[in-house]
Amino acid sequence: MRTPTRYVRVMILILIVPLAGYVAYSILRGRTPPRSARAAPPISASVPSSEMKKFIFEQTQEGKPLYSLRASHMVGTESNVILLEGIESFDIQRPAGPVRVSADKGKVLTEEGKISAVELEGNVVAQSEKGERFEAPSAKYLAKEKTITAPGPVRFRAPGFSGEGKTLEEEIGTGSVLLAGPVTIRCDQGALAGWTVTAASVSRKSSESPVVLAGRVRFAGPEQGQVAAAVAPGGTEERSLPERNAAPSHQGPQAVRQEQQQGLQGPPAFVGQTSEQEWIEADRVSVGPSVPPTGARFEGSVRGLLQAAPSRPPITFAASRLELSRPAPGSPSRAVLAGQAQLQSQDEQGPMHLQAPEIAIGFDPEGRPRAVEARPEATLVREKKDGQETLQAQEMSFDIEAGRLRTATARGSVRMQTPEGRAGGEQASFAESRISLEGGRPWIRQENRLVVADRLESDSAAGQLRAQGNVHVRLPPAGRGSHDAPSDGSVNDTLPLFASGKPVFVESPDAVFLSASREASFRGGVRAWQEQTSLQAASLDLYQNEGIAHAWGEVVTRGIRQTSAGNQIPYTISAPEMFYEEASAQLRYREGCSYRETGSSLHADEILVDQSQGPEGPGSAGTSPARGRRIERVEALGHVSLISGSRRGTADRAEHLVSENKVTLVGELKPATVDDEAQGRHFEGPALTVDLSTDNIAVLGAGSGERGKVRFAQRGRDASGDRR
């Protein structure tokens, strides 16, 4: 998710506003008289008492210049009132530097030879050595109270910006300033060239107080195709302000009420457009009090739209409050959206929406966004072509590079949901296509399985999920029609001996899942079980597409088989390696194997186990019967040995018919043998059948029909003959 790369613009603008709300509006600071002083008499229409072509007046304070006034024509005087025309300069000394004021005419009220008030009329212009300019139709200065009043319209300009307001009132003694509106400020230079600020009023209670823009305040960027007129730094422009600035534009009361009623119902639907005008709105904006300011606060239904880059979709936001801070010029700035904060953007994969009680954006010294933090109970929603993704956590943080999301971290009760499944944990880390979950036994439920481990790592680009540390996997039964199981079968079908209609559980220290090939690998000691059936091995690989399972390293299979009489007999199969093919339903144990039941065991180089696929019992409502896995036949190959009670047998091959509970030993390279120590009997022949349920040993192979020599020996007796 990208963040608004131009929040820095707002910060720059906030650094400029005090000049418009403080310097330009208090451009005449250093003058006097309070509002409580007597009002100066109006310009008299009576015959003046004196007249001169040039008028010069100077006043000092403690030996230092305070005022200097020059006019081209003094009309006359009456009752300590000096009437002037063509006021060339009224210089006022102030701590911030001298200010020179000019006007068409005016009058000066004196008291004991000192200026007590000055009233100026007609094209009143005030300029400072810093290039600041102030214009109004009239102005009134009271020296004793140190107040200035300009009925307006008031226009001002300073290097980089200009603007206008309706009425200016300032108390120079306290620093209180009020510029009634509508007020408009325009920026002509720098990153905010072409931006306009409108407000109902601009005020400041004192020189130690912040500048406040009130009403429905709007910061608006240049419209599409608009080119801002730039003034070179330090340059001057002698055109009148009305000539170079458009008439002020401001929302009416009805429009303001409509915006306030909308509140935080959500930003306008401008996600996906790339040509929108940038703007920020609030009911109230506070700046300063330091100059340049170190902070600004936007309050009341804050909303905005910013362009991240000319070729990228805009970023929109909404909140109850926006706070901007910059400890010092050149230091990193920070923006905080608070109160139902919302941030919307879009990337190549689709739109995204971040929401939290507080969203903070940090910038580097060059003004580029470097980090975003959202807390508490933050929610990130991404709309993709294949569905919606949701991330929820107590805290989220995002690292930004070149306007793009590079890494992210979510902490505290992390929950994720995608079209493929769900996941959760205490902490999640994101880097491009990779996601890692840890803390509080993270879990993920997707692709017909539930995986729980100490750490989970998912790579969507590679289609891989890795689980580490005490991995616990639940493979659900087939045919559930949910995230738990697809319609084309279950992983259970790939596991031997387990019924597909029941869940299977797998534990191991490490596991890897590949979604495209539907493969699963378990390492470090694996145990899979379903009720009384289990499989243990050092490693286990499942290839679901091929229907193959491969286990190796001290493989042990345990289960319960059922005889034709309904008796349940536990069995154990051990081998260094095991293969299973779903198509043939056959298990192959290799490299020295054993098959054990109660009272008997079969050992060989290789053991093959054939399973049945018939119904095991009725399924749950709305599903097909659960398919059972029953052992039908066990075949032993190579160096076969049989132990059953006191009987010991050897053969090249053996076949165990589980339903009949009989074992047939077959001699291919040499005769099969059975020794019964308890009975003192010895059998030898091409095929011998041992009934494990009784004491019978048949010297004819089970339906072999072969001819061969059969030898039977008993204590004190030996018999041999042809087998027919």
How many other CB atoms are there within 10 angstroms of residue 324's CB atom? 25
| Lowest-confidence pick of 433-447, 497-511, 696-710 | 696-710
Please state, for a pLDDT cut of 90, what percent of the chain lies above it: 30
Question: 564 — phi, psi (to 5°)?
Answer: -65, -25
Query: For residues 455 and 245, which has the higher predicted lDDT (pLDDT)?
Result: 455
The model's pTM? 0.70
Question: 243 — phi, psi (to 5°)?
Answer: -75, -35
Question: Tens of pLDDT along 106-120?
Answer: 888 888 778 888 888
Range picked from 220-224, 404-408, 417-421, 695-699 for highest mean pLDDT = 417-421
Question: 260 — phi, psi (to 5°)?
Answer: -65, -35
Could you say which DSSP state residue 499 is in? -
Query: With contact defined as beta carbons under 8 Å apart, do 528 and 500 qualify?
Result: no
Question: Tens of pLDDT along 386-419?
Answer: 889 999 999 999 887 766 677 899 999 999 998 8
Question: Tens of pLDDT along 147-173?
Answer: 889 887 898 887 777 889 999 887 776
Of 140, 72, 142, 138, give the one whose Cα is nearest residue 110.
142
| Lowest-confidence pick of 64-73, 326-335, 408-417, 473-482 | 473-482
Q: Which two tokens stand for residue 23?
A: 């310097």
Q: State yes or no: pLDDT of 718 exceeds 90.
A: no
pLDDT band at 187 (very low <50, low <70, confident <90, very high): confident
Of 685, 691, 692, give the one whose Cα is nearest residue 720.
685
Q: How many Cα atoms within 13 Å fall on the side-chain side of residue 559?
A: 23
| Lowest-confidence pick of 236-245, 377-386, 662-671, 693-702 | 236-245
Q: H-helix or E-strand containing 255?
A: helix 253-262
Q: H-helix or E-strand containing 74?
A: strand 64-78
Query: With contact defined as beta carbons under 8 Å apart, do 39 and 184 qualify?
Result: no
pLDDT band at 467 (very low <50, low <70, confident <90, very high): very high
| Lowest-confidence pick of 4-13, 279-288, 323-332, 404-413 | 4-13
Mean pLDDT of 210-235: 64
Q: DSSP letters of 410-443?
A: EEEEEEEEETTEEEEEEEEEEETTEEEEESS--E
| Lowest-confidence pick of 325-329, 481-485, 581-585 | 481-485
Separation between Cα atoms, residue 38 and residue 455, nearest integer Å: 80
